[in-house]
Amino acid sequence: MTAATRPPFVRLLAFARPLRAELLVAAAAGAGATAAGIALLGVSGYLIARAAEHPSVTALTIAVVAVRALGVSRGVLRYVERLTSHDAAFRVLGDLRVGLYRRLARIAPHGLRGFRSGDLLARLVSDVDDIQDVIVRGVLPVAAAALCGGVTVTACAFLLTPAAALLGAGLLVAGAVVPWTLGRLARASARRATAARGDLAARMVDVFSGARELIAHGAEDRALAELARADAEVVRAERRNARAAAIGAGLAVGVAGLTVWGVLVLGVSAVSDGTLGRVPLAALTLTALAAFETVSPLPAAAVRLAETTSSARRLTAVLDAPDPVHTPATPPPLPETPIHVRVRDLWVRYGPQEPWAVQGLDLDLSPGRRVALVGPSGAGKSTVAAVLLRFLDPARGTVTINGRDMTAFAPDDVRRVIGGMPQNPYVFDSTIQENLRLARPGASDEALRSAARRARLLDWIEALPQGWNTPVGTHGAALSGGERRRLALARALLADPPVMVLDEPTAHLDPGARAALTADLLDATRGRTTLLITHDLTGLDEVDEIIVLDHGRPVQRGSHQDLAHRPGPYARLTAWATA
């Protein structure tokens, strides 16, 4: 069985492997506490029944000491079990979250197309939390119940074999048959409950992120009604599970009651036959009663574990999401600067059935060269950036770095030499300084100031009352569109990759701000290998080559001087832009 075909539970429990010792201690302590509880009731039964016969106090000494010792050890062992099992479970959750996050970071952004962001959040938070129950409510109590149940039945067999057999059967029904049946029955509603939780989280994130648009279009009532519907689905599914758990708990109590009655009846008849004393009868009956405490949580746990199974499946779906790019097992080190990127006959699409987004592009980013990629919306410009940043692999053609195929290098390494500014740069809800330092955490204050100066932000930052420590708000809400873009540009300049890819740096700005930012970034990228993706055709006389893309095809290329006066796509784009 390969790793991917193992049941989701088993695969996730692999995260618990490093904590084996701690889990063994928890299991032993849990079984000890349960055994102490059963023995406490059994010995108490013996003590009370024996005391009723008025023996000398010395005859009861051992039982009295045993009751005290069992009472104290039960508490201490339970404490040790709770402490170690929860500690281990939380550490497993931590490792699991880190593992999932690493996977997401590796496949983002194009590998995440099948997931909604809120649903991913639910997977990372509540589905991971559910896994805690596998350990705390699943593995450990089942191990304790199996061990203590077996020992108790064996001990009872020394007193009265038929009663022990009945107890064993009762424990098996309450602790295995009932939970197993309930677990199976709850599987479908558990799947619905976890899916409904993911759906609710996805809608919630959508409503929060799009609150402004919803209010502007008066669509908030509809969105809230949708949320209420999704919430009702979660409640319905969870109510179904709670009902199943309650029925299970009731059944277990019923089986326990019947079994203890049966043990009592068998015991009384054995006392009448003279094969069992009265004092052992009390110990036997109370031991049987206590034995059911070990299995009583199992039916509810089985329902919970059914939910956990579907959470585990949703988590392994993230772990198994295919890599959008080829990652070599032993990537070679990156070549030394200067870096020369060459694209030959590049064909790209987002899936085998999807149309070509880029068709037959050649591109030469030799050191210090600046190339502009222009074209109408949907022409494939950002797709070229995604390939250069190793977020997507070419379907055909090659991209080489200093003569070596780019797919031979690790994606993270490639992004160290080819970087820049994405089309929709994300601004974190933090300060200006922290947003900038993201690009180079160890950067000196002078490097920060220099990047901000080149992005024409320095004077503005220094004039702010809180300066570099000014909070930028969620998604940079406290900044203007231009300031946000300049902050992203400063971040790109601070990262200082040998090859800079700037995707629509002037998008969404008014013409004045666009012209100013274009002039500044052309200034800042002078002498630096740059691919400038833009709708904005001002200032392109400064770049070495312009490539016009249309429906993924390079339809024209040359310098601004070549293209501007020649009838064709570039002249048409320029005419539209100035119309």
Ligand X SMILES: Nc1ncnc2c1ncn2[C@@H]1O[C@H](COP(=O)(O)OP(=O)(O)OP(=O)(O)O)[C@@H](O)[C@H]1O
Phi, psi of 533 (to 5 degrees): -100, 125
In the bound complex, what is the minimum distance in angstroms from residue 507's beta carbon to ligand X?
8
Candidate list 164, 379, 389, 489; residue touching ligand X; CB under 6 A: 379
In the bound complex, what is the minimum distance in angstroms from residue 552's beta carbon to ligand X?
7
Q: Quick one: which of 418, 415, 420, 535 has its CA closest to 485?
A: 420
Name 341's bridge partners: 365, 401
In the bound state with ligand X, the residue whose beta carbon lies nearer, of 472 and 533, is 533
Q: Kindly indicate which of the ranges 19-27, 156-164, 258-266, 378-386 contains the residues binding ligand X, using the contact rule CB under 6 A.
A: 378-386
Q: Kindly indicate which of the ranges 74-82, 262-270, 350-358, 456-464 contains the residues binding ligand X, using the contact rule CB under 6 A.
A: 350-358
User: Is residue 350 a contact point for ligand X (CB under 6 A)?
Assistant: yes
DSSP label at 123? I
Phi, psi of 121 (to 5 degrees): -60, -45
Q: Kindly indicate which of the ranges 155-163, 311-319, 381-389, 450-458 contains the residues binding ligand X, using the contact rule CB under 6 A.
A: 381-389
| Rounded Cα gap, residues 10 and 316, in angstroms | 10
Q: Which of residues 89-118 bind ligand X (CB under 6 A)?
A: 110, 113
User: Is residue 356 a contact point for ligand X (CB under 6 A)?
Assistant: no
User: Is residue 378 a contact point for ligand X (CB under 6 A)?
Assistant: yes
Candidate list 44, 84, 152, 383; residue touching ligand X; CB under 6 A: 383
In the bound state with ligand X, the residue whose beta carbon lies nearer, of 109 and 368, is 109
The position carrying tokens 């059963």 is 38
User: Is residue 380 a contact point for ligand X (CB under 6 A)?
Assistant: yes
User: Is residue 556 a contact point for ligand X (CB under 6 A)?
Assistant: no
Contact present, 427 and 374 (Cβ < 8 Å)? no
Distances (CA, A) of 324 to 99, 281, 349, 413: 18, 69, 11, 16
User: Is residue 569 a contact point for ligand X (CB under 6 A)?
Assistant: no
Phi, psi of 279 (to 5 degrees): -65, -50
In the bound state with ligand X, the residue whose beta carbon lies nearer, of 340 and 514, is 514
| Rounded Cα gap, residues 263 and 289, in angstroms | 9
Task: At 579, list the tokens.
Answer: 């119309």
In the bound complex, what is the minimum distance in angstroms from residue 181's beta carbon to ligand X?
45
Q: Kindly indicate which of the ranges 41-49, 207-215, 251-259, 379-387 contains the residues binding ligand X, using the contact rule CB under 6 A.
A: 379-387
Contact mark string toward ligand X, 389..428, x via CB under 6 A: ----------------------------------x-----
User: Is residue 382 a contact point for ligand X (CB under 6 A)?
Assistant: yes
Name 531's bridge partners: 371, 501
Contact mark string toward ligand X, 195..234, x via CB under 6 A: ----------------------------------------
CA 87 to chain centroid, in Å, comes to 20
CB atoms within 10 A of CB 372: 24
Contact present, 23 and 138 (Cβ < 8 Å)? no
Q: Kindly indicate which of the ranges 22-30, 72-80, 204-212, 372-380 contains the residues binding ligand X, using the contact rule CB under 6 A.
A: 372-380
- Start-to-end CA span in the chain (Å): 65
| Rounded Cα gap, residues 10 and 313, in angstroms | 11
Contact mark string toward ligand X, 44..83, x via CB under 6 A: ----------------------------------------
In the bound state with ligand X, the residue whose beta carbon lies nearer, of 90 and 350, is 350
Task: At 374, list the tokens.
Answer: 């222009």
Q: Quick one: which of 30, 40, 132, 41 has its CA closest to 91?
A: 132
In the bound complex, what is the minimum distance in angstroms from residue 386's beta carbon to ligand X?
7
In the bound state with ligand X, the residue whose beta carbon lies nearer, of 77 and 549, is 549
Q: Kindly indicate which of the ranges 17-25, 136-144, 283-291, 374-382 contains the residues binding ligand X, using the contact rule CB under 6 A.
A: 374-382
| Buried b / exposed e along 110-126 (16+ C-beta atoms within 10 A) | bbeeebbebbbbbbbee
In the bound state with ligand X, the residue whose beta carbon lies nearer, of 332 and 378, is 378
Candidate list 58, 377, 561, 578; residue touching ligand X; CB under 6 A: 377
Count of chain residues binding ligand X (CB under 6 A): 14
∠ CA(22), CA(34), CA(90), 5° rounding?
Answer: 30
Binding site for ligand X (CB under 6 A): 110, 113, 350, 354, 357, 375, 377-383, 423
